[in-house]
Amino acid sequence: MSRIGKKPVAIPAGVTAKLDGHTVAVKGAKGELKFTAPDEVDVKLEGNLISVAPRNETKRARAMWGMSRSQIQNLVLGVTKGFEKKLEVNGVGYKAAVAGKNLQLSLGYSHDVMFPIPTGVTIATPKPTEITIAGADKRQVGQVAAEIRALRGPEPYKGKGVKYVDEFIFRKEGKKK
């Protein structure tokens, strides 16, 4: 039994939800998001609650049950509060700045890296060494953050590179004489 899947998703005031077959569409202050549930689960909209139940007792159906409920919960949270990821840029001369519809990154290469900001995501740089990524879609915010981090991941000797604010980098000892 999925402990997460058993709980219904509550729809707060100011948010509208529609169910069209297996597709759940949620609309709120931050935008509109959709999720199509897999065939292994049934989705029901009753008043201001969305409940998810498995169609049969296979292992995949039980896995999709909890996942679908979590995805619908993320839709509701995204259109009400939104999601945010923070990145930190470490290194001498490493910096970030928003230039129009691009994020300009100086990461120690011979050229600046221009990262195009996708629609649905806002990127801000409160300091030259901080990047804040915000949006309604949790998956898209996480993907953009991962792509920016992959441009120059943190290295274990000096800790230079782009890392998440809450990420811990295991440090290695350098060469000994």
pLDDT of residue 4: 86
**66: in domain:** yes
Same-domain pairing of 50 and 95:
no
Full pLDDT tens readout for the chain, 177 residues? 668 888 999 999 999 999 998 899 999 999 899 999 999 999 999 989 999 999 998 999 999 999 999 999 999 999 999 999 999 999 999 999 999 999 999 999 999 999 999 999 999 999 999 999 999 999 999 999 999 999 999 999 998 999 999 999 999 998 887
CATH number at residue 53: 3.90.930.12
Residue 41 CB partners (closer than 8 Å, separation 6+): 52, 53, 54, 55, 61, 64, 65, 68
Boundary residue ending a domain (80, 96, 113): 80
Q: Structurally, how many domains does the chain consist of?
A: 2
Q: What is the residue range of 140's domain?
A: 83-164
β-strands 95-99, 102-106 pairing: antiparallel
Boundary residue ending a domain (59, 80, 101): 80
Same-domain pairing of 87 and 128:
yes
**157: in domain:** yes
pLDDT of residue 124: 95
Boundary residue ending a domain (32, 50, 80): 80
What φ, ψ does residue 68 adopt, rounded to 5°?
Answer: -65, -40
